[in-house]
Amino acid sequence: MSVLDDNIAKLDGYLARFRKTGILNRIAGQDAAGSEGVFQTVSPVDKSVICDVAQGAASDIDAAAQAAYAAFADWRDMPATQRRNILIRIAEGIEARAEEIALCECWDTGQAYKFMSKAALRGAENFRYFADQVVQARDGQHLKSPTLMNITTRVPIGPVGVITPWNTPFMLSTWKIAPALAAGCTVVHKPAEASPLTARLLVEIAEEAGLPPGVLNTVNGFGEAAGKALCEHPKIKAIAFVGESRTGSLITKQGADTLKRNHLELGGKNPVIVFDDADLDRALDAAIFMIYSINGERCTSSSRLLVQDSIRAAFEAKLIERVNSIKVGHPLDPETEVGPLISQEHFDKVTGYFDIAGQDGATVAAGGETVGDEGFFVRPTLFTQASNDMRIAQEEIFGPVLTSIPFSTEDEALRMANDTAYGLTAYVWTNDLTRALRFTDKLEAGMIWVNSENVRHLPTPFGGVKASGIGRDGGDWSFEFYMEQKHIGFATGQHKITRLGAL
């Protein structure tokens, strides 16, 4: 039996219970049907129905929010070391079920096992990291003044809503939920409707690890009903969202009446800038990895290649050869590098840019084709002869599609890099240190890597500027979002108090 056949057989075993019972909501430690009935989740591999999913709406969100509110005080007041131990056990539970998580995620999203086999372990790492921060999360400062001993502390903000996307759903769910739980918040999680499987696995693992009922609640459903109700609910104090910039704007509007705190991790049209003095082989490897891995379906992908014109022809020639050699195939095959796109809707969006590129005057130098007719497969695609004002250079395609744009000077590269509505990440390749310092100082991006692909370090801030979002995740920045600052001043003597109305 091949590895692919073995993975398919294992997946069938993992999915058997979902095919029988469907995926139910989980509220206050109990399974719950959806008030709107069910919807079906479909595999992008062959367009087959995976299972029914409970379709929640406002009443389901209300029940979950009430459960999170009821559980909040006890979770907040639980000794920090006890909460830490629960989070560690969640990490251990994730590691124990890493294969199940990875295979389900591949089938539900189309992501290649080559990458998803590590995603579950990254989720465990998120829980371990934030578990280690629990004890000092509420630590503050001592800010002495002439008459007062001023201290600061932090307290959890309360029940929060977490809305996660479909591209790497398990890892991104842990990236939001782990720090919320570590801070002492309770959570209502609304997963993306296109990829609900592993959200169910996460809440099961958490409860098996000893997480009290109501601390993590999962409600499936669509954004216009369940998502809207979560953003508007008065008992939900904050919303952590990962997804499209347009949806992030809508979430801000929906939470305005209840003065929601929002953390929005949104889209990107990220440049990778390659100067002629760079290590070109490493730059080529990194540029390819950051756009074609994860099917190009990630916000930090390097979807615009700005390459200096003196090396453009040679660099693009190597790029075309490599792109044409990327293996497209079944996501459960360990050799596959690019799997199918998530859905029919997204497949239509991505393939639509093949015609748009030609209409704008760009050249389809590689790919630009669909693969087969069973699932939502496309060939990795490269557009050349492009300019930065084309739609393929300005709009987030969110697929395995790279647009190559030449530049002549450092100033021109900087202008083009910043000439977009987005500002999430940027990647700079040069061996000139002073140029790197100058260039990164003026780049409009929340995260920048020099001579590197995106290498995530959990204590560092993650987030963007402009249309790419508001707020930062990672390290203490996560706690700044999920917690409220509190100042307490203690008089150190009998300082003068102005007396009003005294005779």
pLDDT in tens, the chain (503 residues): 799 999 999 999 999 999 999 999 999 999 999 999 999 999 999 999 999 999 999 999 999 999 999 999 999 999 999 999 999 999 999 999 999 999 999 999 999 999 998 888 999 999 999 999 998 888 788 889 999 999 999 999 999 999 999 999 999 999 999 999 999 999 999 999 999 999 999 999 999 999 999 999 999 999 999 999 999 999 999 999 999 999 999 999 999 999 999 999 999 999 999 999 999 999 999 999 999 999 999 999 999 999 999 999 999 999 999 999 999 999 999 999 999 999 999 999 999 999 999 999 999 999 999 999 899 999 999 999 999 999 999 999 999 999 999 999 999 999 999 999 999 999 999 999 999 999 999 999 999 999 999 998 999 999 999 999 999 999 999 999 999 999 999 999 999 999 999 98
* pLDDT at position 130: 96
* pLDDT at position 119: 85
Q: How far apart are CA 409 and CA 338, in angstroms?
A: 34
Of 448, 403, 410, the residue nearest 428 (C-alpha) = 448
φ and ψ of 88, to 5 deg:
-65, -40
φ and ψ of 457, to 5 deg:
-120, 115
- How is residue 499 annotated by DSSP? P
* pLDDT at position 240: 98
Sign of the CA dihedral with 258 first, then 259, 260, and 265 last: positive
Amino acid at 290: M
* pLDDT at position 136: 84
In angstroms, the Cα distances linking 298 to 28, 146, 302, 303 are 32, 52, 9, 10
Q: How far apart are CA 180 and CA 483, in angstroms?
A: 9
396 is annotated as an active-site residue: no
* pLDDT at position 141: 86
**Termini Cα distance of the chain:** 97
- Residues contacting residue 5 through CB under 8 Å, at least 6 positions apart: none
Q: How far apart are CA 17 and CA 233, in angstroms?
A: 33
* pLDDT at position 138: 80
* pLDDT at position 140: 82
Q: Is 475 left (phi over 0), alpha (psi -120 to 50) or beta?
A: left
Q: Considering 125, 297, 299, 453, which one is annotated as catalytic?
A: 299
265 is annotated as an active-site residue: yes
Question: Between vectors from CA 356 to CA 355 and to CA 361, what angle results, nearest 5°?
Answer: 100
Q: Considering 100, 265, 297, 396, which one is annotated as catalytic?
A: 265
User: Contact at 8 Å (CB) between 423 and 465?
Assistant: yes
* pLDDT at position 351: 98
Q: How far apart are CA 79 and CA 75, in angstroms?
A: 9
